[in-house]
Amino acid sequence: MVHGMPNSTLEASPNAALNKTILPKYMDLPIPEGKIQAMYVWVDGTGENVRAKTRTLDFIPKDPSDLPIWNYDGSSCYQAEGGNSDMYLYPVAIFNDPFRRGNNKLVLCDTYKANGKPADPVNHNGHYYTDTNKRHSCLKAMEAAKDHEPWFGIEQEYTLLDMDLRPLGWPKNGFPGPQGPYYCGVGANKVYARDIVEAHYRACLYAGVNIAGSNAEVMPAQWEYQVGPCEGISIGDQLWMSRFILHRVAEEFGVVATLDPKPMPGDWNGAGAHTNFSTKAMRDENGIIEIEKAIDKLSRNHLRHIQAYDPKGGKDNERRLTGRHETSSIHDFSAGVANRGASIRIPRGCAEQKKGYLEDRRPSSNCDPYSVCEALVRTCILNE
């Protein structure tokens, strides 16, 4: 069972019911010399869910260019029609595999169509899915802005659910006590499933993800971890892999990890992906001037950023950005020092030191980090 949770909470999960003591004897079997397992990971047509499959390699890859391009069924991932379903996986980043360990690898991939073009929107069974290869365009922006040394840190909030898709540990026919004691809480009546959080944290460190910390969030069963600082395109690579690891760890416990930005309606906090952003000029002496210039540019491009900050072009964030529960209104732009109800927050320490970074609090928890960071670079650095 999950630490602190009764078995009845998870009895509907087949994964939680499996005997976890059996698998290790098979995972301890030696792999033939020179062979490894490489799990390819990619974003599907929803723009927020990941898929994965494994292949055997007879070498240990050192660079993504060492790895073979692979294919998959795009029609089963909301990215292609059945009559022309082959899609291609282009490896872009390699991580150590915390599940299989040894020399085995996790491989983050870009998705491309058979004609060599990045995966684009597709009408799948009457539903129009999003363009899910956001990395392709983001990389161009990062290369154009590299002399400015853009740094990013993303605070990924998420909620743990049971198999009935209700927040883990919540009463089946009621609600927990009001928010207040849960943020950074300690105790069995305040936090749920810390085992998952600790397993995820350690797995990210082992994989090579630059995870910076974690904490329990304001709503019970809601957590946060931070990735960064990362320069350029690596923030998107690392955040996507951290999400894959989160889902994979939660799977083993028989728990669902959701990135829904407002999993529970009513007087409960939503979930965001607050994005910390700076350039070299912002980090230098009197960088506050550059921070204020960036905020002015952001104020004139509010709608553009709202559209880039969740997979549904702002529809998901409408449920979260209400002006309540530590959010700004989706309709208005605002900025302030230490103000968690503003669109852009300048941390108090940065205001006092007159340099540092800004925090964009608008991105939703299910945002595509490539899309978010590209928008920040194009607005604040490239003046597009």
- The residue behind tokens 């083993």 is 252
Cα gap 87→323, rounded to integer Å: 41
Which residue type sits at 140? K
Residue written as tokens 């993800």? 209
Q: What are phi and psi of 106, to 5 degrees?
A: -100, 135
Per-residue burial over 5-22, b if 16 or more Cβ lie within 10 Å, else e, is beeebbeebeebeeeeee
Q: State how far the Cα of 384 lies from the Cα of 381, in Å rounded to an integer.
A: 8
Amino acid at 312: K
- Length reported for the chain: 384
Strands 122-124 and 151-161: unpaired
On the 0-12 / 13-18 / 19+ scale of CB atoms within 10 A, 384 is exposed
Neighbour tally for 69: CB within 10 Å: 12
Q: Token pair for residue 44?
A: 């599907």
The token pair that represents 196 in the structure block: 């998952």
CA dist., res. 296 & res. 298, Å (int) = 5
Task: Write down the pTM of the prediction.
Answer: 0.94
Q: Do 96 and 14 meet the contact criterion of CB atoms below 8 Å apart?
A: no
- What was the pLDDT predicted at 192? 95
Residue 168: predicted pLDDT: 95
Give the integer Cα–Cα distance in Å for 101 and 141: 35
Supply angle C-alpha 350, 370, 260, rounded to 5: 90
C-alpha–C-alpha distance, residues 350 and 255, integer Å: 38
Q: pLDDT in tens for each of the 384 residues of the chain? A: 444 444 444 556 888 888 989 999 999 999 999 999 999 999 998 899 999 999 999 999 999 999 999 999 988 998 888 788 899 999 999 999 999 999 999 999 999 988 888 886 655 555 555 567 899 999 999 999 999 999 999 999 999 999 999 999 999 889 999 999 999 999 999 999 999 999 999 999 999 999 999 999 999 999 999 999 999 999 999 999 999 999 999 999 999 999 999 999 999 999 999 999 999 999 999 999 999 999 999 999 999 999 999 998 999 999 999 999 999 999 999 999 999 999 999 999 999 999 999 999 999 999 999 999 999 999 999 999
Torsion on CA atoms 322, 258, 314, 310, rounded to nearest 10: 130
* pLDDT at 377 (0 to 100): 98
Domains identified in the chain and CATH numbers = 31-131 (3.10.20.70), 144-380 (3.30.590.10)
| pLDDT for the residue numbered 8 | 44
